[in-house]
Structure 1
């Protein structure tokens, strides 16, 4: 397939630095709300890129479950299997970059920073809020991305855990949350003629610095 002749002009909005806040959280909060208002499906879905000791980047889509502002700090929370490929990468190199892309709004946001495990109590609270079938699936997926002989084996394990735990499924010790502590956030607004608007916030000396960068 050849898409070299495919073209689309982005003309829905603009991003001018004079109209942006001094810190990134208010703009990110507004863009998330805009996506919700436009009924974008799962606007909190984000691609998470990691790189372990083998220096091979790896990316996958997960769901951001919380974004928090404390003072000038911005934190993103997501949950996963600690034994997964991303978990192993983060154990070796505790840094990641997340990408939100809302095609219908012609916008994307890149957020990068250091990553650390979330407190166990918070992971327990979130795990308890999940549907019971999702709780059981977390037990089945160990190690996540590990090889399994068949779908039937997975479904058999699901039934076994269902019988074992009943209606009170504990959080597996290998499953929990991560906290990404943002030190760089880029907002991208598509514009006509590929003259896109890109505004970047970077943490320097504990303060956010805002810059426009070339498309």
Structure 2
């Protein structure tokens, strides 16, 4: 490889972050940054890297999409038979990472997970385009398939099956809520002396601290 990977670097100088200026609520601080990511027209600002591990300690990561957040936590949806879901059932501790490179920012979250209610899953499912609804029925997520034509054939079967009515919520599909116990806001700064503000949930309160970069 001819590219000098070791020499790839940028100075970060777009913004700064301090304990004295962040909101006392990590959720309000996240909302502020999320709105700024939206306004900056970043690609998929609700994309987040979800890290899970099974009972034996095998760690896997993938990108999922945030579909709701409030003071109760951060919600995403998936197939309950997927690898991520199986790992969550063994170990409900997970991590999330929002990589907002265009703003020289990232937000990392750790916490525990719980399934959202069937009513909440149904409400979101019905808001999806019909193609996405059918896709949830077609894919046995994380299972091995021999070709894409299998998916396309199953899609045609699902189209025929539900052509005369609403597409129901699959019983194997729904949401998870990540209930955070730590949320770190990272802002890139010059000379790699980045700003890191950590919110830790201790005794039902959020403790705010600055971390060394």
1:112 pairs with 110, 113, 117, which one? Answer: 110
**3-state SS of 1:184 partner:** strand
Deviations 1:18-50 (A, max 9, x none): 111222111111000111111112211100000
Provide the C-alpha distance between the structure 1 equivalents of 2:127 and 2:93, rounded to a whole number of angstroms: 27
Partner of 2:156: 159
> Counterpart in 2 of 1:40?
42
The corresponding residue for 2:18 is: 16
- 3-state secondary structure, aligned to 2:95: strand
State the match for 1:49 in structure 2.
Answer: 51
2:177 equivalent to 1:179: yes
Alignment of 1:1-215 (within 5 A): 1=1, 2-69=4-71, 74-142=72-140, 144-166=141-163, 167-215=165-213
Report the alpha carbon displacement of residue 168 of structure 1 after superposing the two structures with TM: 1.4
Give the Cα–Cα distance (whole angstroms) in 1 for the partners of residues 70 and 190 of structure 2. 33
Which aligned runs of 4 or more in structure 1 are off by greater than 3 angstroms? none
Q: Structure 2: which 5+ residue stretches go unaligned?
A: none
Calculate the aligned-residue CA RMSD, in Å: 1.0
2:206 is paired with a residue whose SS is strand
In structure 2, the residue corresponding to 1:193 is in which secondary structure? Answer: helix
Cα deviation for residue 155 of structure 1 reads 0.1
CA distance in 1, matches of 2:84, 2:36: 30
TM-score w.r.t. length of structure 1:
0.95
Aligned-pair CA distance for 1:54? 2.3
Taking structure 2 as the reference length, what is the TM-score of the superposition? Answer: 0.96
Residue segments in structure 1 that go unaligned for 5+ positions in a row = none
Distance 2:179 2:28 in 1: 16
Aligned length: 210
